[in-house]
Chain A
Amino acid sequence: MNVIDVHGLRKEFKSYSSRKGLGGAFRDLLTRNYTVLRAVDDIDLQVKQGEMVAYIGENGAGKSTTIKMLTGILTPTAGEVQVNGMDPHRQREAFVRTIGVVFGQRSQLWWDIAVQESFRLLKKVYRLSDEHYDTHMKQVIETLEIEPLLDKPVRKLSLGQRMRCELAAALIHNPPLLFLDEPTIGLDVLVKMKIREFLKEINRKYKTTILLTTHDLSDIEALCDRVVLLDEGRIIYDGGLEALQNNWVEGKQVEFEFQKPVAKEELEQITAEFPVKWRAAEKLRGWKATVEGDDDTVSKVMSVVMSHHSISDVKLNQVSTEEIIRNIYEEGMHRHG
């Protein structure tokens, strides 16, 4: 059974533009110019129970808008949405009892009151029995290690501490489906790892379906077996992470560190006969070459570069997921698709 079943989902926003000058302002009073912006453009998406799906895209690609439609916050302009067998917007109050939501940049907890008081209020809001709360929440609190934070007010918590409490709050009613919007934004590595571990565990234990958006691709590598890539409101890739790595970019990446500064044009010129893309590396005088082709081509490129310029270091990398996704956005669909 599909937990999320979406067909032809679309969301349009009207945005008004104002004309120039005072005369323009008066004309705006009578008739306003507006443009229709299609934030989400005919999306089809099916997610099965127990899947962990990464929903990624650049800023403004329509990630948040989709999540907000799937959680019943926004009304779709067109399309069919069935989540947990319900229509999220029409049956909102019944529906939200079956989902958990974490918005990384926005707190779900009450700012002034102690964490456990927030939990207590939420327990009432979701009409949970004492037994359910005691057994289920005790485990959640233990796994997230937030026991010592319970009597502190939320405003006194650090971001990492708050985030763990947010997660616990979203899971208070043990929902079968969890939406996470940037759950690890701004967190340090240790907290990130803890949160990932926790998500894996609830996924294994309760078969909780998780849909998450993130800018941190290591989240995806650690958690998700499926990636949905969004660009300008359309899904441009939907499939396994491994397939993405294998199909979209063949070849390898070579990172050179030169002894003297080198211009990009120079490098492009000497390797013009090979399928190479150059990009500045983080290091001083460093350049990265993404080579599409077999190992033979790679070694030829290396020898050409090294015969022209003296280098201080050279590294051969597998292309990272981050690199792949950056490539996809820069080059667009047409090249690979």
Chain B
Amino acid sequence: MFYVSIFFQYASQYMKTRLTYRSDLVVELFSDILFQAVNLIFILVVFGHTTLLSGWSREEIIFIYGFFLVPYAIFSSFFNIWDFNERYIVKGEMDRVLTRPIHSLFQIIIERMELESMFGVITGVAIMFYAGSQLGLTVSWYDPFMFILMVAGGALIYAGIFIILASISFWSDSRTDIMPMMYNIGNYGRYPVDIYNQVIRYVLTWILPFAFVGVYPAAFFLGRDEWYFYAFLTPVMGLVFITIAVFAWNEGVKRYRGAGN
């Protein structure tokens, strides 16, 4: 309960600060939409040359993309830890975090949230509705609940992977370019995994399970029952990854060396 109220305290403070710089906010939202439009155009261009991709139609792929945007939006609103090494370890901001009576990871999440990224949820849902109506999908009573469960699972997988990567900084504070690379790999989850070769498929399912953020859970809503096993695994994978991540983080904090003065 305490953590919930602290979260809202920080969120309201965040909104206040953002609203004082209104023009920044507008520019950011605009560039976000532009970025998503480019991605969509890419899909359309690919399907200008073919109608089916390993048995997936254009609308289905657009649907998967729409779904992907939702957990991704939640992830990028709350887990801006790609610069954790630089900001908290090298500059020593972690010192301050560790002198406050709140779990350190939670503090970093609420300090670094970027709520305007939540706009992606709206875009994602809109794209899903568009593609869904083209495909003639219907919404059942349990779909909204499944949707929340799948989105939560996807967001937790994303969060888990990036928290584990951030935790590496506790062991080695040398700069790595692993974070941007991971953002790229994350994008592979938006496409049906059966278009990739076996090895990549295996990696995207079990090692860096980005497929659980896009194609697997979306397959459930598309009614593709050959993927149901993976679809239902999404929340489980989410829990597994976030548990490993928090464990790695807690171990890492014990090894925190501090920044020299």
Q: Which residues of A contact B (CB under 8 A)?
A: 13, 59, 64-65, 68, 71-75, 89, 92-94, 96-97, 99, 101, 103, 105-108, 110, 112-113, 117, 121, 124-127
Contact = CB atoms under 8 A, between A and B. Distances in A.
Contacts of A75: 254-256
Given A92-B98, A121-B9, 7 more contacts: A73-B95, A73-B98, A101-B99, A103-B96, A121-B10, A124-B6, A124-B9
B144 interface: no
Contacts of A117: 13, 16
B99 A71 contact: yes
B198 interface: no
A106 B95 contact: yes
27 contacts: A59-B261, A68-B258, A71-B99, A73-B94, A73-B95, A73-B99, A73-B258, A74-B256, A74-B257, A75-B255, A93-B102, A94-B101, A96-B98, A96-B99, A97-B101, A103-B96, A106-B92, A106-B95, A108-B99, A112-B17, A113-B13, A117-B16, A121-B9, A124-B6, A125-B6, A125-B101, A126-B101
A74 B258 contact: yes
B95 A103 contact: yes
Interface string B1-34: 0100110011001001100000000000000000
B49 interface: no
Interface of B: 2, 5-6, 9-10, 13, 16-17, 92-96, 98-103, 254-258, 261
A96 B256 contact: no
Contacts of A96: 98-101
Nearest to B97: A73
Contacts of A71: 98-99
Nearest to A90: B254
Nearest to B102: A125
B257 A113 contact: no
A36 B183 CA distance: 36
Contacts of A97: 101
A263 B92 CA distance: 46
Contact of A93 (B13, B93, B96, B103): B103
A113 B98 CA distance: 21
A117 B9 CA distance: 10
Nearest to B174: A16
Contacts of B5: 124
Nearest to A124: B9
Contacts of A106: 92-93, 95-96
Contact of A89 (B10, B102, B254): B254
Given A103-B95, A106-B92, A121 B13 contact: yes
A89 B96 CA distance: 14
Contacts of A110: 13
Contacts of A73: 94-95, 98-99, 256, 258
B25 to A, nearest CB: 14
A158 B256 CA distance: 31
Nearest to A72: B98
A121 B9 CA distance: 7
A102 to B, nearest CB: 10
Given A113-B17, A121-B13, A125-B102, A108 B96 contact: yes
Contacts of B101: 93-94, 96-97, 125-126
Nearest to B17: A112
A68 B256 CA distance: 11
Contacts of B13: 110, 113, 117, 121
